């Protein structure tokens, strides 16, 4: 192909990939969200920043009960910037969508540069196409979560590491380490890339790595800032008991995972196979892994193995259907390996070309189906439409300074381990603060204790009185302010009678 055709092919690919990442950037955080629970957390923090509450070091949520709301989380770069823009310019949470979309487009451009530097021309284009259309990357591209910024930092860090492997210049290693530190600050799952750094440094210097000041500086650069931040964030948790799934959720595999049901392995493999490897990707990935010889290219395989190993280690979370976005950390390396494999097969004999084209066609079908599914979940969340409507209508009956009480999710997983249960959408939609209690955990006495702590309104579903063991047969002695579908709003400020045990 002529240089003009090649340039147009790259331009078309990057424009199409960028356009995919902008779809829905204009939509506010209502019921149309693939991850409404998580997005509501970040939106609340940004809203509180916009109102002058909290600081970069003290992000605050609305499901705070009677505490300050300071919560444990990663460095809140996205909500902090989003809140600042809301305060300085006006607008709403869609600033965060715009920032996230820009980070996603930046990650695509950085990935294209990385692919062109590490792969043959055709393989680089195919790898970029796979990355551009990846359903997980597209579905979170303009999410209110930090995943897009995370991927941009990961791709940038690996690109700088690959450049250091080619040049052996200390400044490239230091810059790569700084990018890795930023990635871990943005999301702790980026720590898996540290294994790739360790492998690359050991391969270059062997046992002599400890004698090199540049290695110590790089290690300190990549580790000390995240260590300082997460220590500070842990302090928020110890003060308020609030966390975005860091200290209040059991992510890691335990022995019970291997002695009980192995369903988690199937769930983990299904997400990886469909949403990361696009169905037929394992064959292309295997060819790409076996066919690369240069040290930076071998690092791509180490990167994918590290990401996959990390996902297995946190399978108690990563195997859950809602947590598919955790697998985003495996997408860049998998796309590079699949692109390398496809390019290698096409460059061989006719059989290799047929295998590559059939595999890519299968990847296209699986990717299109997965994109349709994830985008449908995002824009057609029918299950949440009724809850959104009822919650926003009920907000008119709740004073702005009143504290609400509502049911969250389960407090334990199937192994009896702790999970985060603070279901945050209603706090966001109502623009109110208050308490959340675990699914099925409420009793009349427990509700009275929350009332004594300042709770003013109880936003309840009728099914709670049937499902919760402590509420069966109990008639709430509080005035019912309004109802909508299965939802009822009770005024806890003046009970009409003393609560009776069921």
User: 88-126 pLDDT, tens per residue?
Assistant: 999 999 999 999 999 999 999 999 999 999 999 999 999
Q: What token pair was written down for 35?
A: 């991850």
Q: Give me the pLDDT at residue 359, please.
A: 85
Residues 6+ away with beta carbon under 8 Å from 327 = 136, 271, 272, 275, 276, 311, 318
Domain ranges of the chain: 23-379, 384-491
Is the pLDDT assigned to residue 67 strictly greater than 60? yes
Q: Give me the pLDDT at residue 378, please.
A: 59
Is the pLDDT assigned to residue 44 strictly greater than 90? yes
Supply φ then ψ for residue 13, to 5 degrees. Answer: -65, -45
Which residues are 458's β-sheet partners? 405, 490
Is the pLDDT assigned to residue 293 strictly greater than 80? no
Q: How far is CA 296 from CA 112, 168, 287, in A?
A: 16, 12, 17
Q: Give me the pLDDT at residue 14, please.
A: 96
Q: How far is CA 102 from CA 21, 97, 105, 158, in A?
A: 9, 9, 5, 20
Average of per-residue pLDDT values in the chain: 90
Mean pLDDT computed over 469-498: 86
Range among 147-156, 202-211, 278-287 rated most confident = 147-156
Confidence class for position 351, pLDDT limits 50, 70, 90: confident
Q: Give me the pLDDT at residue 384, please.
A: 84
Confidence class for position 380, pLDDT limits 50, 70, 90: low
3-state secondary structure 203-261: HHHHHHHHHCHHHHHHHHHHHHHHHHHHHHHHHHHHHHCCECCCCCCCCCCCHHHHHCC
Q: What is the DSSP letter of 30?
A: S
Is the pLDDT assigned to residue 360 strictly greater than 60? yes
Q: Give me the pLDDT at residue 118, please.
A: 92
Burial of 250-279, coded b for 16+ CB within 10 Å and e otherwise, reads bbebeeebeeeeeebeebbeebbebbbbbb
Is the pLDDT assigned to residue 158 strictly greater than 80? yes
Q: What is the DSSP letter of 114?
A: H
Least confidently predicted of 75-84, 101-110, 296-305: 296-305
Q: Give me the pLDDT at residue 65, please.
A: 94
Q: How far is CA 125 from CA 64, 110, 208, 334, in A?
A: 48, 13, 38, 14
Closest CA relative to residue 432, chosen from 63, 38, 96: 63
Concatenate the DSSP letters of all residues of 408-467 into one string.
-S-SB-TTS-B------HHHHHHT-EEEEE-TT---HHHHHHHHHTT--EEEEETTHHHH
Q: What token pair was written down for 305?
A: 């193995």
Is the pLDDT assigned to residue 81 strictly greater than 70? yes
The position carrying tokens 């590079």 is: 336
Q: Give me the pLDDT at residue 496, please.
A: 60
Question: Does residue 357 or residue 307 have the better pLDDT?
Answer: 307
User: What is the rounded CA–CA span in Å between residue 197 and residue 218?
Assistant: 10
Question: Does residue 413 or residue 49 have the better pLDDT?
Answer: 49
User: 225-258 pLDDT, tens per residue?
Assistant: 999 999 999 999 999 999 998 888 888 887 777 7
Q: Give me the pLDDT at residue 155, please.
A: 98
Confidence class for position 480, pLDDT limits 50, 70, 90: very high
pTM of this prediction exceeds 0.85: yes
Q: Give me the pLDDT at residue 379, please.
A: 59
Q: Give me the pLDDT at residue 377, please.
A: 59
Q: What angle do helix axes 193-205 and 147-167 make, rounded to 10 degrees?
A: 0
Least confidently predicted of 29-33, 42-46, 351-355: 351-355
Supply φ then ψ for residue 439, to 5 degrees. Answer: -55, 125
Mean pLDDT computed over 71-93: 96
Confidence class for position 60, pLDDT limits 50, 70, 90: very high
91 conformational bin, left if phi > 0, alpha if psi -120 to 50, beta if neither: left
Confidence class for position 64, pLDDT limits 50, 70, 90: very high
Mean pLDDT computed over 129-151: 94
> HSE-up of 26 (CA within 13 Å, CB side)?
1
Q: Give me the pLDDT at residue 463, please.
A: 85
Mean pLDDT computed over 323-350: 90
Supply φ then ψ for residue 459, to 5 degrees. Answer: -95, 105
Alpha helices in 241-349 (DSSP H): 255-259, 263-271, 281-291, 295-313, 315-318, 331-346
Confidence class for position 280, pLDDT limits 50, 70, 90: confident
User: 391-449 pLDDT, tens per residue?
Assistant: 999 999 999 999 999 999 988 887 788 888 999 999 999 999 999 999 988 999 999 99
């Amino acid at each position: 192909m002529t240089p003009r055709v090649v340039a147009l092919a790259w331009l078309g690919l990057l424009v199409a990939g960028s356009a995919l990442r902008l779809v829905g950037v204009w939509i506010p955080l209502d019921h149309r969200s693939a991850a409404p629970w998580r997005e509501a957390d970040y939106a609340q923090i940004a809203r509180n920043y916009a109102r002058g509450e909290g600081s970069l070091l003290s992000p605050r949520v609305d499901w705070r009960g009677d505490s300050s709301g300071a919560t444990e989380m990663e460095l809140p770069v996205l909500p902090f910037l989003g809140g600042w823009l809301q305060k300085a310019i006006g607008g709403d949470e869609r600033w965060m969508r715009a920032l996230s979309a820009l980070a996603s487009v930046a990650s695509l451009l950085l990935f294209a540069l990385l692919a062109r530097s590490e792969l043959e021309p055709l393989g680089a284009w195919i790898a970029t196409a796979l990355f551009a259309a990846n359903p997980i990357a597209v579905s979170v591209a303009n999410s209110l979560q930090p995943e897009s910024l995370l991927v941009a930092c990961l791709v940038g860090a690996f690109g700088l590491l690959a450049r250091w492997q080619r040049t052996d210049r200390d400044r490239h290693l230091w810059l790569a380490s700084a990018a890795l530190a930023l990635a871990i600050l943005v999301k702790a799952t980026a720590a898996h890339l540290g294994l790739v750094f360790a492998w690359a440094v050991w391969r270059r210097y062997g046992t002599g790595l400890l004698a090199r000041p540049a290695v110590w500086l790089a290690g300190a650069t990549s580790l000390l800032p995240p260590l300082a931040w997460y220590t500070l964030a842990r302090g928020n948790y110890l003060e308020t008991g609030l966390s975005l799934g860091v200290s209040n959720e059991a992510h890691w595999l335990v022995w019970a995972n291997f002695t009980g049901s192995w369903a988690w392995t199937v769930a983990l493999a299904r997400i990886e196979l469909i949403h990361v490897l696009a169905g037929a990707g394992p064959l292309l990935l295997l060819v790409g892994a076996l066919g690369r010889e240069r040290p930076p290219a071998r690092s791509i395989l180490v990167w994918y193995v590290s990401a996959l190993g990390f996902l297995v280690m946190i399978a108690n979370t990563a195997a859950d259907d809602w947590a598919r976005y955790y697998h985003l950390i495996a997408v860049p390396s998998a796309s590079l390996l699949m692109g390398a494999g496809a390019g290698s097969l096409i460059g061989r004999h006719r059989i290799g070309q047929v295998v590559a084209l059939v595999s890519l066609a299968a990847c296209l079908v699986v990717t299109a189906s997965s994109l349709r599914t994830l985008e449908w979940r995002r824009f057609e969340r029918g299950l949440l439409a009724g809850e959104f409507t009822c919650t926003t209508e009920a907000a008119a009956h709740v004073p702005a300074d009143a504290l609400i009480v509502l049911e969250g999710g389960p407090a334990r997983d199937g192994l009896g381990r702790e999970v985060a249960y603070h279901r945050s959408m209603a706090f966001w939609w109502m623009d109110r603060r208050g308490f959340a209690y675990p699914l099925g955990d409420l009793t009349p006495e427990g509700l009275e204790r929350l009332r004594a702590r300042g709770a003013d309104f109880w936003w309840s579903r009728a099914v709670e009185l049937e499902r919760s063991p402590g509420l069966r047969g109990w008639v709430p002695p509080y005035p019912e302010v309004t109802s909508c579908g299965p939802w009822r709003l009770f005024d806890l400020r003046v009970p009409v009678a003393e609560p009776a045990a069921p």
